[in-house]
């Protein structure tokens, strides 16, 4: 059976980008047709300036939202990264296989470290080594597929390179995984700046639809989305990024084709209105389930405890095998 691993970082409230780019497929497709693990990758949240209490809160909220989005603990494993030591154990070994050049070439490292320096801050070493930890997340479970949005594809490519290099040097140990992406909305853009990704860690509230936004807030954000000069509805990322983003969002909600959809609209206003209503309807069941789960925090704790136990059992033999292959003496 195909094995799937993916994760989400508790660095901000989850967004429509997270949902359309990743979470929705995890619940609708991946958990039904594969042996799937989904992880709140909290160690990754420590790579930038963070408030400990907020990371803890967002980790719990993220796990609750994963369940609210339809992940079923009877079908898949949901857990928190720091509850399973194997991630950190394997990450170090992969740092010994990676080069500092390939880490420095990662777009996310270049963008985030530049932003941090601009603010006059210092860059944490863990931001540079982040992709080794992400590779460890995936390789520890022998995952064949990694369902992610477009922004994570480069990290998955690096994971493939590290797995292949390790296998070549030390003997076959790891499955070489591949990234999978949704057909539409693999890169949902910020509504106020449609040339940038809708990112949960960004500060631009009005450009980001959060999964827990009230219906009227969702409507307001979408109705005020930045559109492009011109008034005809055309699907073209280069010349019409704002309209194209709305078409992608609406098409993803409806399961239709964004380019075909563009022919059905004569004005930006009508497109915005339909997109807003489609997103409100998409989020409604998730928000209802989230509310119910919040009333039962013991249930979420139990799911995470059982998930970590199952994940540990899967990762330990794989990481032990990597330790042996690279030359570490097994403990007696
Ligand atoms: P993160 O937490 O930024 O995002 C979680 C998932 O959501 C997708 N995504 C988007 N998709 C479309 N449009 C957007 N605007 C958008 N924003 C986010 C991301 O592509 C991702 O699939 N490094 C990862 C977390 C991670 C991970 C892993 C993922 C750590 N270890 C192992 C897969 C496997 C990250 O920061 O995702």
| Average pLDDT of the residues in 9-15 | 96
In contact, 66 and 23? CB cutoff 8 Å: yes
Res. 55 pLDDT band, cuts 50 70 90: very high
Please say if the pLDDT value at position 96 is more than 70: yes
Pocket test for ligand 1, best of 10, 22, 208 (most atoms within 8 A of CB): 22
Please say if the pLDDT value at position 168 is more than 80: yes
Which residues are documented as binding site for ATP? Answer: 9-11, 17-18, 149-151, 188, 197-201
* Model pLDDT for residues 240-272, shown as the tens digit of each residue: 999 999 999 999 999 999 999 999 999 999 999
Q: Evaluate whether 3-181+296-326 and 205-291 have a shared fold.
A: no
* Model pLDDT for residues 98-113, shown as the tens digit of each residue: 999 999 999 999 999 9
User: Can 197 be counted among the known catalytic residues?
Assistant: yes
The pTM for the full model equals: 0.97
* Model pLDDT for residues 212-234, shown as the tens digit of each residue: 999 999 999 999 999 888 778 99
Q: Is 112 in the pocket of ligand 1 (CB under 6 A)?
A: no
Please say if the pLDDT value at position 202 is more than 80: no
Res. 203 pLDDT band, cuts 50 70 90: low
Give the separation between CA 207 and CA 202, rounded to whole angstroms: 9
Ligand 1 center from residue 25 Cα (angstroms): 13
Ligand 1, closest atom to CA 149?
20
Ligand 1 center from residue 74 Cα (angstroms): 24
Res. 10 pLDDT band, cuts 50 70 90: very high
Q: Is 134 in the pocket of ligand 1 (CB under 6 A)?
A: yes
Res. 124 pLDDT band, cuts 50 70 90: very high
Ligand 1 center from residue 239 Cα (angstroms): 26
User: Can 200 be counted among the known catalytic residues?
Assistant: yes
Q: Is 161 in the pocket of ligand 1 (CB under 6 A)?
A: no
Question: What ipTM was reported for this prediction?
Answer: 0.99
Q: Which residue's alpha carbon is at the smallest distance from atom 18 of ligand 1?
A: 18
For 205-291, CATH gives 1.10.240.10
Give the separation between CA 40 and CA 170, rounded to whole angstroms: 30
* Model pLDDT for residues 274-329, shown as the tens digit of each residue: 999 999 999 999 999 999 999 998 999 999 999 999 999 999 999 999 999 999 99
Domain extents for the chain?
Answer: 3-181+296-326, 205-291
Query: Which option is the CATH number for 3-181+296-326: 3.30.1330.60, 3.90.25.10, 3.20.10.10, 3.40.50.620?
Result: 3.40.50.620
């Amino acid at each position: 059976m195909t094995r799937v691993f993916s994760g989400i970082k508790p660095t901000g409230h989850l967004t429509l980008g997270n949902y359309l780019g990743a979470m929705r497929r995890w619940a609708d497709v991946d958990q039904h047709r594969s042996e799937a693990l989904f992880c709140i990758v909290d160690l990754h949240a420590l790579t930038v300036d963070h408030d400990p209490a907020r990371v803890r809160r967002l980790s719990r909220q993220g796990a609750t939202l994963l369940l609210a989005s339809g992940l079923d603990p009877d079908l898949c494993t949901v857990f928190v990264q720091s509850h399973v030591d194997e991630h950190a154990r394997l990450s170090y070994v992969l740092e010994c296989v990676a080069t500092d050049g390939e880490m420095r070439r990662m777009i996310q490292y270049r963008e985030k470290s530049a932003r941090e320096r601009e603010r006059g801050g210092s860059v944490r070493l863990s931001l540079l080594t982040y992709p080794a930890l992400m590779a460890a997340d995936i390789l520890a479970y022998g995952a064949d597929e990694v369902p992610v949005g477009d922004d994570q594809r480069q990290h998955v490519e690096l994971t493939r390179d590290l797995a292949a290099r390790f296998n070549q040097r030390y003997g076959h140990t790891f499955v070489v995984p591949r990234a999978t992406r949704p057909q539409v909305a693999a890169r949902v853009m910020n509504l106020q700046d449609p040339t940038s990704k809708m990112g949960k860690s960004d500060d631009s509230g009005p450009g980001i639809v959060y999964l827990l936004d009230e219906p009227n807030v969702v409507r307001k954000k979408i109705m005020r989305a930045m559109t492009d000069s011109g008034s005809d509805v055309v699907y073209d990322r280069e010349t019409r990024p704002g309209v194209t983003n709305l078409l992608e969002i609406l098409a993803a909600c409806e399961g239709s084709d964004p380019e075909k959809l563009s022919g059905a609209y004569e004005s930006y206003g009508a497109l915005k209105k339909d997109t807003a209503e489609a997103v409100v309807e998409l989020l409604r069941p998730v928000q209802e389930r989230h509310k119910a789960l919040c009333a039962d925090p013991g249930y979420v704790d139990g799911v995470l405890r059982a998930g970590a136990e199952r994940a540990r059992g899967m990762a330990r033999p794989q990481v032990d095998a990597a330790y042996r292959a690279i030359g570490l003496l097994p403990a007696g």
